[in-house]
Amino acid sequence: MSAAVLPSVATARDSNGHHGNLTAERAASLLTACSTARRTSELHAYVVRAGLDSDRAVAFRLQRAYAASGRLDHSLTLLHRTQDPTAIFYTSAIRAHSSRGLGLAALALLSDMLSDGLLPTAHTLSASLPACRGLSLGRALHGYAFKLALSGDSYVATALLGMYARAGDAAAARALFEEIQPDPHVVSVTAMLTCYANMGALDDARRLFDGLPKKDFICWNAMIDGYTQHGKPNEALQLFRRMLRSSVEPDEVTVVLVLSAVAQLGTVESGKWLHSYVKNSQRVRLNVRVGTALVDMYCKCGSLEDAVAVFHGIGDKDIVVWNAMINGYAMHGDSTRALEMFAQLREQGLWPTDITFIGLLNACSHSGLVEEGREFFRSMEQEYDIDPKIEHYGCMVDLLGRAGLIEEAFQLVQSMTIVPDAVLWVSLLAACRLHKNMVLGQQIADYLVAKGLANSGMYILLSNIYAAVGKWEEVARVRSMMKANGIQKEPGCSAIEIDRKVYEFVAGDMSHPRTDEIYAMLDKMNGLVKEHGHVPQTELVLHDLDEAMKEKALAVHSEKLAVAFGLISTEPAATIKIVKNLRACSDCHAVLKLLSKITGRKIVFRDRNRFHHFVDGSCTCGDYW
What residues are paired with 615 via a beta bridge?
618
For the chain, how many structural domains are there in total? Answer: 1
Q: Could you tell me if residue 580 is inside a domain?
A: yes
The whole domain housing 607 covers 494-619
Q: Could you tell me if residue 604 is inside a domain?
A: yes
Per-residue pLDDT averaged across 169-194, rounded? 79
**CA-to-CA distance for 478 and 496, rounded, in angstroms?**
34
**CA-to-CA distance for 325 and 243, rounded, in angstroms?**
30
Between 16-20, 493-497, 554-558, 563-567, the lowest mean confidence (pLDDT) is in 16-20
* pLDDT above 80 for 125: yes
Q: Could you tell me if residue 540 is inside a domain?
A: yes
What is the reported pLDDT for 294? 98
Q: Could you tell me if residue 591 is inside a domain?
A: yes
What is the reported pLDDT for 24? 81
SS3 category, 47: helix
What is the reported pLDDT for 484? 79
What is the reported pLDDT for 133? 82
What is the reported pLDDT for 292? 97
Per-residue pLDDT averaged across 127-151, rounded? 90
What's the pTM value of the predicted model, to 2 decimals?
Answer: 0.76
Per-residue pLDDT averaged across 557-571, rounded? 96
Residues 625 and 610 sit within 8 Å (Cβ to Cβ)? yes
* pLDDT above 90 for 58: no
Per-residue pLDDT averaged across 487-500, rounded? 84
Residues 68 and 34 sit within 8 Å (Cβ to Cβ)? yes
**CA-to-CA distance for 79 and 81, rounded, in angstroms?**
5
Taken in order 401, 405, 406, 410, the sign of the CA dihedral is: negative
Task: Say how far residue 526 (Cα) sits from the centre of its chain.
Answer: 40
* pLDDT above 50 for 10: no
Instruction: Count CB-CB contacts under 10 A for residue 518.
Output: 24
Q: Could you tell me if residue 548 is inside a domain?
A: yes
Residues 605 and 611 sit within 8 Å (Cβ to Cβ)? yes
In this prediction, residue 15 has a pLDDT band, given cuts at 50, 70 and 90, of very low
Q: Could you tell me if residue 273 is inside a domain?
A: no
**CA-to-CA distance for 587 and 293, rounded, in angstroms?**
34
Q: How many helices (H) and strands (E) does the chain have?
A: 32, 8
DSSP 249: P
In 518-557, where do the E strands start and end? none
- Closest by alpha carbon to 358, among 396, 385, 321, 320? 396
In this prediction, residue 271 has a pLDDT band, given cuts at 50, 70 and 90, of very high
pLDDT of 42-57, one tens digit each? Answer: 888 888 888 888 888 8
Q: Could you tell me if residue 434 is inside a domain?
A: no
pLDDT of 392-439, one tens digit each? Answer: 999 999 999 999 999 999 999 999 989 988 788 888 888 988 888 878
Q: Could you tell me if residue 149 is inside a domain?
A: no
The mean predicted confidence, pLDDT, of the chain is 87
3-state DSSP percent of the chain in helix, strand and coil, to 5: 65, 5, 30
Per-residue pLDDT averaged across 260-266, rounded? 93
